[in-house]
Structure 1
Amino acid sequence: MKAFLYSFWEILEVVAVAVVVVVAIRSFIVQPFLVSGASMEPNFSSGDYLLIDEVSYRFNQPERGDVIVFHYPGDESVYYIKRVIGLPGERLLISNDGIKIFNSE
């Protein structure tokens, strides 16, 4: 009986450590993301799975051309995946001819 209890506690410890490690990695380092919609085609198609880096933008600002995933401001359960085209202080003119970027400096 002692051997059984010892084995049970050992397995329970391994499972607990695994759960803590997975939760920590998923919360602070990378997070899986399922692409839904065609707005990022041909780079990412609907149904593609991505691993989202949770660390980079804690230390660096997004740059033009970066692909980012963010919460929709009106509904925190909705995520969007988009490419950065404008940076702080810039104005954008979007027309049928394309995108023009005006820097305020």
Structure 2
Amino acid sequence: MPVISKVLFTIYAFLCLIAIQLIYNYLNIQEQKKVSVNEKAIMDSLQKAQNIDALYKFEKNGKYGLINQNNKVKLEPIYDEINDFKEGIAWLRIDKKYGYVDRVGNIVIPYNNTTKV
């Protein structure tokens, strides 16, 4: 009888270890799925940010405007000058008046200032 009990106990202990390993693997897989979802969300956000930042100056009839990477006009070419973006904004000039535009194409400071800020 003691030999059978030892064999049964050994089998039971072995099955418990297998169950623990299976539970650990399942939880690890679930955690990896969460990380994958989070990484995808981060990559999507980065892609959107890169797309927003992609505005390009273009010239038409001696005036400047801004287009995005899909050639969609974000600012009509009415400006005498548009500076490069620095810290998310660029100054623009019409005649002797300056204003500022953000990387989305929104005028953040209207062009009624006679000097650059």
Please tell me the TM-score bracket, short chain as reference.
Answer: 0.3 to 0.5
Structure number with greater Rg is 2
The structure where helix makes up a greater share of residues is 2
TM-score norm. by structure 1 comes to 0.39
TM-score norm. by structure 2 comes to 0.36
